[in-house]
Structure 1
C-alpha cells in the first residue's frame, strides 16, 4: 500500500512539472509573437482633429476659388495656357489654332432696354444668358465673353478636327433658336413680349492669348476669323435671317445633307477685302417656311451669279420668278432693290460682284 502511494505521488509531481514547463514555453512563445507584432504594426497615429479640419477647409476654399475663377476665365483657356495650375497662367501667352466662332445678339436690344429699369434690365439679361448657356456647352463650346447683350462662344476640340468644330457650332446655333422659342413662351405667360436673336458662325484660324498689364489680365481671341463671325451676326437682320454662316463653315460641316440652307449673298464685310459667300440655316424653321425657302433657293443662286457678271436683267428675271412662288420672302425684295441700285452705280472695272456691309 505504501509503495502504491509513493508511486502515485511521484507520477503527480512529474505531471505537474511537465505542465509547468509547457506553460513556461507557451508564455515565451507568446512574448516573442508580441515583440514581433510591435515591430510589424506601427504605433497608432494620434490625429489632431483641428489640423485635419483646417486642411479640409483650405482644400474646400481652394476648390471654390478655382470654380469662381473659371466663371471669369473659361476652363478651356486655363487648360490651354495653364496646364499645371491657375497660378501658372502668365501674361503674353499666345497660340494659334483653328476655331469655330459664334456670335449671338438680341435684335432691337437698345429700344428694349430703354423700356426697363436698371434692375429689371439686369434680371432680364441674366435670365436670357442662363437659357443660352446650355445649348453652347451641350454642343462642345464655351462662352468666351459677354459683350453687352451679345454672346461670343468658341468651339475648339484640342483632339478634334475642323469638321467637329463647325458642326458643333451650327448645331449650337440651331439649339439657341429652340431655347429662345421656349424662353419666349415663358415670357408670354408672364406678359412680356418675345425677343429675336441673330447668330453668326465662322470657322478659321485665330490667335488665342493673354493680354493686359501686371495688375489686370484677360484672355482674348483675335484674328480675321473673329471679325468675320462678328460681321455675319450683324448681317442677320439685314437679310431677315436668324442664322448666318460662311461658306467656310458650310464646307467644314460633316453630313451636309442634314443641314438645310440657302445662299444669301456674296458680301465684303468691314475690315476684310476678300468677298465672303454667306448662307442662311433653315432647320429650326417650321416645315412650311423651310420648304418655301428651299424652293426659291435655286433662283437666288442663279440671280446672284448673273449679278456678279453684271447681267442685270437676267438677274432680275430670276428674282422676280422667285417672287411668284414666295411673294412675302423679304430676301427677294432685298436683292431686287440691290440690283436696281447697282444698275445705276458707277462700278469699278475690277468689281467682283460682292456688296459691301
Structure 2
C-alpha cells in the first residue's frame, strides 16, 4: 500500500524548504506570493493532505467542518449557512467559516490564503457555497484528498464534486408559466448581476417562453444596488409592451414595484411583477409580492448530510436537488385589456 504524499514531497516539488511549506499551510505572513502559488500547486498536484485534515480522517476525533463563501450578508448565502450550522449542531459538529474576498481577481493570492487557513485547522471536510465565480475557483483549487461538497443553483456545475443543488431552472419556469397563464403575451426579465455562468432562473424563464413559441425579449440587467432596479422600473413603467416583469431577486422586484407606483401604474393589474427567493419582507410589500420560495436552509442541511457521507468513507454521493415552489400573492394579475 503506497503512502500518501508528505510535506517533504511538497517541498521538493515546489523547490522550497519544509519550513516554508509549513509557513504557507499555516497562513503565516512574510512568504512571497509567487512562493505561495508554487506551494499550493504542489499541494494540489500531489493531493497532499495537511496534518489537521489527515489526523481528522484517521482518528475521527475532530468534529469541525469549514464553510467557504464569498458573501455572508446576502440572503441565500446566510440561509444556507444557517442550515449547515443547524445540521452541524444536531450532529455535535462545530463550523468554522472562511470568507473569500469577493473583489479579488484571478491572480490574487487571497484565495490560496483562505484555503490554507481552512486546511490548517483540524477539519473533517469542507462545504463551498458556490453561488459565484469565487466558489467555483475554490472548488477547482482545493486538494482532492479533502472531503468537499459544493452548494449551488447554477446550471453547468463541475462534475467531480458532489453538490447540493437548488433547482433555480425549474423556479424560473414556474414563475414565467404563471405569468403567461394569467394571459400576458410575454414576460420581461430583469436579471441578477452576471456570475460567469448561466443563471438557472434566467435559463428557466427562457425555456418557458420558448416552450410556448414565444421569442424571449431582451433582458434588463440590474446590479446589487436596489437603485438600479428602481431606475429600470421607471423605464419599464412607460413601455406599453411590458405587462409582466419577472425579477431575478425579491430586492429588485421591490424596487420595480416602487418605481411603478411612483410612475402612476395601477398595482395590481396595470402591470404584474414577480420576484425570486421569497425573502421575509416579500409578503409585506404593497401589493404583496408573487415570488419563488427557495428553501436555502434545507439546502445547507442536505449539504452537511452529504459531507458526512463522504467523511464516513462511503462512495461519492449523488447530487441532491431541492425544488423551489411558486408563491402567488397580489402583485401578479390578469393584464388590463
Same fold (TM over 0.5): no
Could you say which structure has the higher strand fraction?
Answer: 1
Greater relative contact order (Cα < 8 A, sep 6+): 2
**What is the TM-score when the length of structure 2 is the normalising length?**
0.28
Hey, which of these two has a bigger chunk of helix by percent? 1
TM-score, normalization: structure 1? 0.27
The structure with more radius of gyration = 1
